[in-house]
Each structure stands twice: as structure tokens, then as C-alpha cells.
Amino acid sequence: MDISEYTDPKEYPDWRWTRIKGMLKDKVAPTKRDDKYIHRGYRFAKDLAACDGSDTALFSLSMKHRDIGKAIGLHNNRSNRKYYMEALSLCWDADEPTIAKYMGEPQFMVRYYLKLFFDVRDKLDSTGYICSRIMEPALLQSIQDCKDSNVAWKMAGLFGGYDAVLACWENRAISPKTQKHFKQAGMGALLKDFGVGTFLRPLNRFNIELVAEHVMRAAELEIKAKAASGGTTTSEDETTLLNDIMGSMKFFVTDPAKQLPAREPRLFDKVDQSLVSVAVE
């Protein structure tokens, strides 16, 4: 293997499951250096490989490896249920018993899922790791699978905590703390889009109206946020703010009569007469 292609396998949240699949493929057993989760996952995977797939055999396998079998089954399920588990595991204020209770699953099942497929609990303070290894792949997957809810739930859990995630799922009153989180997140997203667009998107005649609209919306939200926080806004404040925005732009007034022809061109205005004569002959 070329050294330039090497990446540390343990950098990924499902590194244990990758290790188990590699051992099955290479027909090697776990070593003493592998932890108990790898050993138990390997035993389940090996028994599953020897299973004939009948209902009786699958039930027996499920009874033998109850919690780890449920965890692997959840991971393989195509529903959004595993994304519930992952969003909750990103909440700094939700421990394993809390996650298990909400999911209606045994605590050991939750632990097996997190250890085998989503090993991030000890990295929640490392925002760079979470963004690069969790959020970026989720964003790419949302582009392909249109599962935007997965990204939204994870963002809510990572930055808003347990109550913010529940607010995404349940139709209930939102606590003042969670309301403040969503309000700040919305304002931050708008300002970020405006700022990034300002630096990366040069103004031209095609996007000036859209950029101006974004600026006006940002100004309006700033005024509303000031009023909501207990501050007072006057018409003079609004006028000053809008004048500053308008003064930062350059406008060019053109005379439509000089820019547009008096009559729109027609399809047969410039027909080649030689072609017409040939067609008539």
C-alpha cells in the first residue's frame, strides 16, 4: 500500500465494525488487544455468516446475541430510527440511560450501537472532529438521499442539547432556553450566508437584487432582535441603518430607451432572400 493512501482506521466512528468486517474477510480472529465489543461483535458476525437464514435460525441467533443483534439490526435498518439514536448521542446532556429510555431499548443495546457504529461520546468537546467525521458525511449523504432531517437533528443535538432535539420531534411547548437557541441559530445562519456570500460572490447585474434583499432582511432582523431583547428602536435608528446599507452600494441608472430597441426583432426580419427564391422554384 502506498503511504500516501494511508489513513488511521480509528479516526472513524465505526472503526470497530470496520475491524470486525476486515477480520471476517481475512479469516482471522480478534487478538487480546481488541476490546470486548470487538470480540462480541466478531462472534455475532461469525455466527450470522454460518446461519442458513431460516426464521428458526435467525430467532436462535437473536436470543443468543440479544443486545448486540438489536444494535446491528438497527444500523442496517433503512428507516430514520438510527438517526434518532445518533442525534441523541450528540447531546452533551443526555447519558446512555436517558437515550435508552427515549428509544425504548435496553441500555446495553444503546451501548453496543454507539461502540460499534457511532463512537463519538468521548469526542463531543472536539468540534473539529465532529464536524469533519460526522456532520460533513451527513451533509454529503443528505445531498444524495434527501435526508435533510438527519443533518438538522444532529446539529440540534450538538449545539442545542437534548431539549433542542426533542423540539425537532415532538409537538410540545419549547422551553425559553431552547427558543433562544433556535433564534440564535436562525440569526447566525442568515448572517453567515450573507457574510460568506459577500466574500465569495462578487456583485453583478445578475445577483444584485438577491444580495440587496438579503441585506434588507438582515437589517430587519437586527432591528427586531434589538426590540426583542428589551432595547428601543426609533425611526431614526432604522433610517440610519438603511442609509448605511444603501450607501455601501453603487447604483447605475440606465435609460431604457437607449438600451432596448424600439421593436423586438422577429424571426423573419432577416430571411435570406436567396433561400426563399430557391424554395419557390
Whether 113 and 11 map to the same domain: the answer is: yes
Per-residue pLDDT, 136: 84
User: Is residue 121 within 8 Å of 89, Cβ to Cβ?
Assistant: yes
Residue 58 lies inside a defined structural domain of this protein: yes
Side chain identity at 174, as an amino acid letter?
I
- 161/91 Cα distance (integer angstroms): 5
Structural domain range at position 100: 1-126
Tell me whether residue 25 is in a domain: yes
C-alpha angle 183-185-189 in degrees, rounded to nearest 5: 120
Question: Cβ contacts of residue 156 below 8 Å, gap of 6+?
Answer: 87, 164, 165, 167, 168
Q: Which has the closest alpha carbon to 120: 239, 2, 15, 259? A: 15
Whether the model pTM is above 0.85: no
Quick one: cell of 269? 426580419
Neighbours of 173 (CB within 10 A): 9
* Pair (5, 97) in one structural domain: yes
Let me know whether 203 and 281 are in one domain: yes
Task: Determine the pLDDT at residue 78.
Answer: 82
CA angle 270–273–275, rounded 5-degree value: 110
| Domain shared by 114 and 206, yes or no | no
Residue 149 included in any domain: no
- Write b or e for each residue in 111-132: b if 16 or more Cβ atoms lie within 10 A of its Cβ, otherwise e: bbbbbbbbbbeeeeeeeeebee
pLDDT by residue for the chain (281 residues), tens only, comes to 778 777 787 889 999 999 999 999 999 999 999 999 999 999 999 999 898 889 899 999 989 998 999 999 999 988 889 999 999 999 999 999 999 999 999 999 999 999 999 999 999 999 889 988 888 888 777 666 655 788 889 988 988 999 999 988 887 778 888 888 888 887 877 777 777 666 665 666 666 677 677 777 777 777 777 777 766 666 666 666 666 655 555 555 445 555 555 555 555 555 555 544 444 44
Instruction: Tell whether 253 is covered by a domain.
Output: yes
Q: Are residues 107 and 190 in the same domain?
A: no
| SS3 call for 71 | helix
Last residue of a domain, one of 111, 126, 141: 126
Residues 201 and 261 in one domain: yes
Split into its structural domains, the chain has a count of 2
Q: Are residues 1 and 122 in the same domain?
A: yes
Same domain flag for 2 and 112:
yes
**47-74 core/surface letters (b: 16 or more CB in 10 A; e: else):** ebeeeeeeeeeeeebeeebebbbbbbeb
Contact 19, 9 (CB under 8 A): yes
- Residue 1 domain-assigned (yes or no): yes
pLDDT at 279: 42
Residue 158 counted as domain residue? no
CA distance 114 to 244: 51
